């Protein structure tokens, strides 16, 4: 089936095809074809409207290519290139119900974890440049792939509903964790309530700002291209910055049980902030700059609340591998928030707010 689907795309390959699994992604099925193309089967259980998702990617990458060409870069290497089918479509449906797409393969290196502040700095510059290049793109044109993904007020409302239902009878054993989130309810509206204003403009957001979503020039730590654009949506730039800090500047794993190990790595926070602002500073509003450090607290607060909500609901959303796994995750996020709250003035100085 894969061979027949790939042949429907307008590529330069004519002869025998070698299609092999590629990468370690957990959502989509990814294949390398003859070392020249990436073919992916989009998981339509998660992404229910793959056509609109792909339209987002095409609009964003075409805009990025224009910016890359303007500065004398290589558009085939510095952003994804969507290959259309021979009849002009941007994807092809398979018999398995998945939507298939093809990209030009980018020769590169990737990293799953940061081994130096230099790597984090270069990662941040890549995401900052992504936002800078898209700062004049009308984000309202984009389809909301996952509605209300970072609508923290709605996440909080869901948390309250789940708490009231307490269908698994777990609330009594986690009163301290519940109170932590209840006592910080005002966090939930700080961005959402002003999003779409001049102070907090609607922007193109990546929504998965992890190190392994950046390709680096072969044999170097120089960022080349940002990938995994499936969750590109309209939102706040703070979502991308805050979640990058949550995932990339933590001293411990997301599910670490020894909370004494949990906190923010200020060296990596500083490196990421400097790299991000080196590219994006001129396109930020005064309010965005002032709330940049807080966004790390907000996104960690939101994620921790989602983990606790899922624990109270019976562990139905996030995959777990042990009893109380989501509770452990919630507790690490709580500890991370508390550490950042204590360091917020220091973080704001680094941001320059």
Q: What is the DSSP string of 303-342?
A: HHHHHHHHHHHTS-SS--SSTTHHHHHHHHHHHHHHHHHH
What pTM did the predictor assign? Answer: 0.93
pLDDT confidence band for 198 (50 / 70 / 90): very high
| Residue 96 predicted with pLDDT over 90 | no
Average pLDDT over residues 166-188: 98
Measured between alpha carbons, how far is residue 261 from residues 168, 247, 266 in Å?
30, 15, 14
What CA–CA distance (Å, rounded) separates 134 from 240?
13
Query: Which is more confident, 24 or 113?
Result: 113
Both tokens of 135, joined, read 């700062």
Decide if pLDDT at 26 tops 80.
Answer: no
- At the topology level of CATH, where does 117-351 sit? Aminoglycoside 3'-phosphotransferase; Chain: A, domain 2 (3.90.1200)
Contacts of residue 147, Cβ cutoff 8 Å, sequence gap at least 6? none
**120 — pLDDT class (breaks 50, 70, 90):** very high
pLDDT tens-digit series, residues 151-171: 999 999 999 999 999 999 999
pLDDT higher than threshold 90 for residue 209: yes
Predicted local distance difference test score (pLDDT) of residue 353: 73
The Cα 269–Cα 296 span in angstroms is: 10
Predicted confidence band of residue 25 (pLDDT cuts 50, 70, 90): confident
Specify the CATH number of the domain 2-104.
3.30.200.20
Residue owning tokens 């910016």 = 67
DSSP H or E segment with residue 29: strand 29-33
- Output 76-81 pairs: Cβ under 8 A, ≥24 positions apart: 76/104, 76/106, 77/106, 77/107, 77/108, 77/224, 77/225, 78/224, 78/225, 79/225, 79/226, 80/104, 80/106, 80/225, 80/227, 80/229
Domain locations in the chain? 2-104, 117-351
Question: What's the pLDDT at 97?
Answer: 84
What three-state secondary structure class fits 207? coil
Instruction: Read off the pLDDT of residues 32-66 as tens digits, 9 standing for 90 and up.
Output: 999 999 999 998 988 999 999 999 999 999 999 99
pLDDT band at 240 (very low <50, low <70, confident <90, very high): very high
Q: Dig out the tokens for 199 from the structure.
A: 């102070």
Burial of 45 (0-12, 13-18, 19+ CB in 10 A): exposed
pLDDT digits (tens, 9 = 90+) for 280-315: 999 999 999 999 999 999 999 999 999 999 999 999
Q: Would you say 3 and 17 are in contact if contact means Cβ atoms under 8 Å apart? A: yes
> Which pLDDT value is given to residue 266?
97
* Residue 59, pLDDT score: 98
Res. 140: pLDDT tops 80: yes
pLDDT of 242 higher than 90: yes
Structure confidence at residue 230 (pLDDT): 96
Say what the pLDDT of residue 202 is. 97
**How far, in Å, CA of 117 to CA of 59, rounded?**
33
């Amino acid at each position: 089936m894969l061979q027949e689907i790939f042949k429907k795309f307008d590529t330069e390959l004519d002869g025998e095809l070698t299609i092999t699994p590629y990468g370690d992604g957990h959502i989509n099925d990814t294949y390398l074809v003859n070392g020249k193309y990436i073919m992916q089967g989009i998981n339509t259980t998660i992404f229910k409207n793959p056509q609109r998702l792909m339209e987002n990617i095409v609009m964003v990458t075409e805009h990025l290519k224009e910016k890359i060409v303007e500065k004398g870069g290589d558009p085939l290497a510095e952003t994804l290139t969507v290959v259309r089918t021979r009849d002009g479509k941007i994807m092809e449906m398979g018999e398995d119900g998945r939507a298939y797409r093809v990209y030009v393969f980018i020769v590169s290196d990737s990293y799953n974890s940061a081994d130096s502040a230099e790597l984090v700095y270069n990662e941040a510059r890549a995401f900052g440049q992504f936002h800078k290049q898209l700062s004049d793109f009308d984000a309202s044109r984009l389809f909301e792939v996952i509605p209300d993904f970072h609508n923290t007020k709605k996440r909080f409302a869901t948390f309250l509903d789940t708490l009231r239902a307490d269908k698994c009878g777990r609330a009594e054993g986690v009163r301290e964790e519940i109170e932590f989130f209840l006592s910080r309810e005002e966090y939930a509206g700080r961005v959402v309530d002003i999003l779409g204003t001049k102070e907090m403009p609607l922007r193109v957001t990546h929504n998965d700002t992890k190190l392994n979503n950046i390709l680096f020039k072969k044999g170097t730590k120089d960022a080349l291209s940002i990938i995994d654009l499936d969750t590109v949506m309209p939102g706040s730039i703070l979502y991308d910055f805050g979640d990058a800090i949550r995932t990339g500047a933590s001293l411990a794993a997301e599910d670490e049980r020894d909370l004494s190990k949990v906190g923010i790595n200020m060296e990596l926070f500083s490196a990421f902030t400097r790299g991000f602002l080196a590219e994006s500073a001129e396109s930020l509003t005064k309010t965005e700059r002032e709330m940049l450090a807080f966004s790390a607290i907000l996104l960690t607060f939101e994620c921790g609340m989602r983990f606790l909500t899922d624990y109270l609901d019976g562990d139905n959303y996030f995959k777990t591998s042990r009893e109380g796994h989501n509770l452990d995750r919630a507790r690490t996020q709580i500890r991370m928030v508390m550490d950042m709250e204590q360091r917020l003035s220091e973080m704001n100085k680094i941001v320059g707010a």
